[in-house]
A and B are shown apart, each in its own frame.
Chain A
Amino acid sequence: MSSWIAVARRELHGRRVALAGALGLGVVPLGLPRLVAGTSGAELRLAATAVLALAYVGILALVVGGGMLGGELAERRLGFYFARPLSTAAIFAGKVAALLVLLVGAQLFVWLPTLICDGSRADLAPAVAVLMAATPLFVGVGLVAGVAARCRSRWLAVDIAVTVAGLWLFALVARQLAFEVWLHPGAPLRLFGAVGGALGIFSVALLAGAAAALARGRVDAMRAHRAMSVVLVATLLPAGGAALAATRALERTDIHRLSGVTAASGDGDWIYVSGPVAGQRAYEPDFLWQRSTGRWRQLGVIMGGPLPSFAPDGARVAWIETDNPLAVWGDHAKTVDTLVVGEPGDARHERRAPTGDDAMAIAWSPDGRWLALLGEKRIELRDTGTLRTRATVEAPGGARFVRARFAGDGLRAFALDGEGVTGLTVSARGTTTLARVATHAVWIDASPRGDRILAARADGAVDLLALDGAARTLLAAGGRVAAPSPPMVGFEQHGGFLPDGSIALGFGGDAERAGVRLFDRDGGPTRTVELGVGRVIFGPVTSRGLLVAIDANPTPSQKNERLFLIAPDGGAHALDPRWRLQWTLDPAIAQTPAAQPLLRDDDNRLLAWDPATDRATPLLPGR
């Protein structure tokens, strides 16, 4: 038999009573549900057992571990081992093994009654596993604390100072990883890794300190304590410092590299900036930035979920996140989605309400009183005062909703599915009236007054739908807008209402003549504006007209955009050639009409363009 096993067996001798104590303690949680009414028995047992296991093992580690090394040093009983042909390593390994066996056994014995009672619950396993994994830490704490407390040299002050300083450094690391918004996407994982690593380093440092105490001091308590302190100083502080330095050296996200979806509040003060980040794959962070104050707030937006949506007044924003921020960061296997409505950047004014996990888009009514949550199978209308659902409309016949938006009056909402358009009339009492027209549309746009809808088909044909006078029925009799030639095809929005109610439709395609054709309120053609050769990209509607871009090289890697402002009278004004449209998934759904459209310049700087002055100002901090 190896000598360390002999030592371990010797150390365990007479300490078996600790295991009996653990078993007795483990029975206590079984009786708790009878004493505490109105609680889940299993949950209570689990919580109580975890607390008891932690407390018992902690106390056991201090009492037994402290006696195994510090106590024997102080009482000069280590000579028994050192007078025998046992290496210091065997003595130390035997003591550590004995303590490990005792603590792991005690853990199991505390858990045993609960495991028997709730054995079918798989969620017990992680709690037991975490506590088991922490056992080396308990062993280290027990051994070192015993030496420090029992030997009572002036080095005790050094131990305390070093431990406090080391823990403070590791706390700084954890804090930085947890709250630093610009860290790399691996930050959450690194946080877990850092916490685990820190505990690991701490355990190793403690065990190394205890080993040094035994190896250097043998039976000399003062020398042992001094050796232990030296190891702690030499290990904990450099490890903490290195971890902090490594954390500070982690790659930060450059806000200018957030090239994804961007939106701005109506007054342009709050900007929603999103990934993906160039050079950082799989990282698509979402931030709100307030221009006036420079404040940031990271949103826990679900990857692939709906984009945050600003209220028209710019004072509120709505988004959907999971209920677990860390899961949002790194792990998409999440639980319950939450609708969050609040003042941007001010967590105190956030209100949350559960929602389904199928929401694809959020739209504010122009008056800010209603939110439309569009799911694949249904559309929910919620009033923004209470976040309660006032109406739910299921997509008919197995259809899937793909887009939704409010009419300009804020009292009508329209949703598009594969079969047609569904209209909702929103009343102050939350009642709705369903109207439906089959159009096979791929995008829709509602007029500023909410009385007409443009519904475009995939082949480029566009229907003009109208509501009856009581706004109760959606009429298909609005007529068809003559598709300009060559027609634009596809699912991207390429038309809409101008501020005065007239209609603009794009035409042209890759390597073809392209431009915008204007129609009157009833769909009659009025003017054609040719802008060049390429593809028309529709931007937001501004107070002075429609912003469009012609992309002559419509490839992701080679943009050649020219921006134009199309006035309702057909006048086309070319903007600065260095500017291009900020790409958004669907400006009609994901953002309110921006007072100042968002542009990018050649340096990829985000700009706000003022239609009144034709000037663009950078929105984000300088590089």
Chain B
Amino acid sequence: MMALRVVESPPVVVCDGLTIRYGARAVADDVRFVIPRGAVYALLGRNGAGKSSIIRCLVGQRRPSAGGVRLFGRDAWRERASLMARVGVVPEEPDAPPAMTVAELAEFSRRLYQRWDQSALVARMARFGVPMHTRFGALSKGQKTQAALSLALAAAPELLVLDDPTLGMDLVARRELYGELIGELADRGTTVLLTTHELAEVESIATHVGILRAGRLVIDEPLELLKGRVRQIRCAHGPADVAGALAPFEPLALRSDGHGIEAVVGRYEPSAFDRFRRAGLVEAEAQPLALADIFSAVVSEEAEPSGGNA
């Protein structure tokens, strides 16, 4: 009788206690997260939160001060060259040589990848409307990013890393870029890690979210779970200590005015909220939040970390 053996492929990305220091200052402190195959992981944070530094460690361009990053089960720093055959990178600032045209860049890259798809590149560039024979340095910011994304996807990567790709792009260009990304996900199921400040767009494609605050990953979970547990609760002022009654919901942000109390809680649970309401202290309602609101509540100064990376 033949025994079947199930071989589990390792997660695409394992960030294990990653710490990055610039001198005495830590921009990433014991960051841990895992990106499973096929996930779209949005790494969010305010400017200077350490997103780009983490990305550089993740693609083997910077050595971690402590901890490490594993891609496909292999060390990103030590085995960068071979790993990059499976990874596409779109940097925050497109860094291709400005004197080369996209066609020349494609010719250069084609020799480095076994699964290079030139026709897909040409088709994608045509959809973006970016000329193939214009010097890279002469392209607009949006066109550079579109060209960089096209070059990255032409190598048929298993992991696509995008570091704030829409920075400085207009609305149309952003939509085109995310449209291509969604198409790629639909066609090939590529694992994606991206950092961005465009939370509305990313909310539609992200499956997992990580939120950095002051170098620490305070949120790391599937987007649906996050949106399920983080809610906005509004209630009127009552005779009792309403704020104290909200404590089990782990408020992330609490605002009080003449109309009542508005809280963003990190541990919303429907049955508990029903009990809260049935207590009859006040009238209360709970509303789901957009990712942008959750992010805002999590990274606000008074917010305390909850869940996720704990």
Instruction: Report whether chain A binds chain B.
Output: yes
* Size class of the A contact interface (CB-based, 8 Å): 20 to 34
In contact, A80 and B85 (Cβ under 8 angstroms):
no
Q: Are A6 and B112 in contact (CB under 8 A)?
A: yes
A85 touching B61 by the CB < 8 A rule?
no
Q: A residues within 8 A CB of B104?
A: 13
Decide yes or no: A10 and B112 within 8 Å by CB, A83-B91, A88-B81 being known contacts: no
- State how many residues of chain B have any CB contact under 8 Å with chain A: 27
A contact residues around B227 at 8 Å (CB): none
- Asked if B109 and A84 sit within 8 Å, CB to CB, the answer is yes
Q: Are the CB atoms of B112 and A3 closer together than 8 Å?
A: yes
Chain A residue, CB-CB nearest to B109: A84
Given A83-B61, A85-B82, A218-B61, A6:B97 Cβ within 8 A: no
* Cα–Cα, bound, A83→B62 (Å): 11
B60 surroundings in chain A (CB, below 8 A):
82, 218
Q: Is A86 an interface residue (CB 8 A)?
A: yes
CB distance from B101 to the nearest CB of A (A): 10
Which of A6, A14, A84, A87 counts the most B-chain CB atoms under 10 A from its CB?
A84
Q: Is the CB of B97 within 8 A of A84?
A: no
Given contacts A3-B112, A83-B84, A219-B56, contact A76 B100 (CB under 8 A): no
- Of B59, B87, B89, B97, the residue contacting A10 (CB under 8 A) is B97
Whether, in the assembled complex, B303 has its beta carbon less than 8 Å from a beta carbon of chain A, the answer is no
Chain A residues with CB under 8 Å of B111's CB are 1, 3, 6
A85 to B62, Cβ gap below 8 A? no
Which residues from 154 to 188 on chain A have a C-beta closer than 8 Å to any C-beta of chain B? Answer: none
In chain B, what residue has the closest Cβ to A219? Answer: B61
Q: Does A409 contact B (CB under 8 A)?
A: no
**Per-residue contact bits, chain A 78-115, to B (CB 8 Å; 1 contact, 0 not):** 11101111111010000000000000000000000000
Q: Which residues of B contact A578 (CB under 8 A)?
A: none
* 0/1 string, A1-20, CB within 8 A of B gives 1: 10100100110011000000
Contacts of B59 in A (CB 8 A): 82-83
Asked whether any CB of chain A lies closer than 8 Å to the CB of B80, the reply is: yes
Mask of B6-41 contacts with A, CB within 8 angstroms, 1/0 = 000000000000000000000000000000000000
Nearest CB in chain A to that of B53: its residue: A220
User: Is B93 at the interface (CB under 8 A from chain A)?
Assistant: yes
Nearest residue, chain B, Cβ from A79: B95
In the complex, whether A77 has a CB less than 8 A from a CB of chain B is: yes
Nearest A residue to B83 by beta-carbon distance? A85
B281 within 8 A of A: no
B99 and A84 within 8 A (CB): no
Taken together as a complex, chains A and B put the C-alpha atoms of A595 and B281 apart, in Å, by 132
Query: A219–B62 contact, CB under 8 A?
Result: yes
Report whether A80 and B112 are in contact in the complex, using a CB–CB cutoff of 8 Å. Answer: no
A13-B104, A219-B62 known; A82 vs B80 contact (CB < 8 Å): yes
Is B113 positioned at the interface, with any CB of A under 8 Å from its CB?
A: yes
| Chain A hits for B236, CB < 8 A | none
Contact A85 B91 (CB under 8 A): no
Give A531 to B283 CA distance when docked, in angstroms.
144
CA distance A10 to B61 in the complex (A): 20
Q: Inside 8 A of A78's CB, which chain B residues have their CB?
A: 95
Q: Contact check, A10 vs B93: say whether CB atoms are below 8 A apart.
A: no
Contact A84 B61 (CB under 8 A): no
Which listed residue (B80, B87, B99) contacts A14, Cβ 8 A? B99
Between A and B, 15 residue pairs with Cβ closer than 8 Å are: A10-B97, A13-B104, A14-B99, A78-B95, A79-B89, A84-B84, A84-B109, A84-B112, A85-B82, A85-B83, A85-B84, A86-B112, A218-B60, A219-B56, A220-B61
- B residues sitting closer than 8 Å to A (CB atoms) are 56, 59-63, 80-85, 87, 89, 91, 93, 95-97, 99-100, 104, 108-109, 111-113
Q: Other CB < 8 Å A-B pairs besides A10-B100, A223-B63, 18 of them?
A: A6-B108, A6-B112, A9-B108, A13-B100, A14-B97, A14-B100, A76-B95, A77-B97, A79-B91, A80-B97, A83-B61, A83-B84, A83-B89, A84-B84, A85-B112, A87-B81, A216-B63, A218-B62
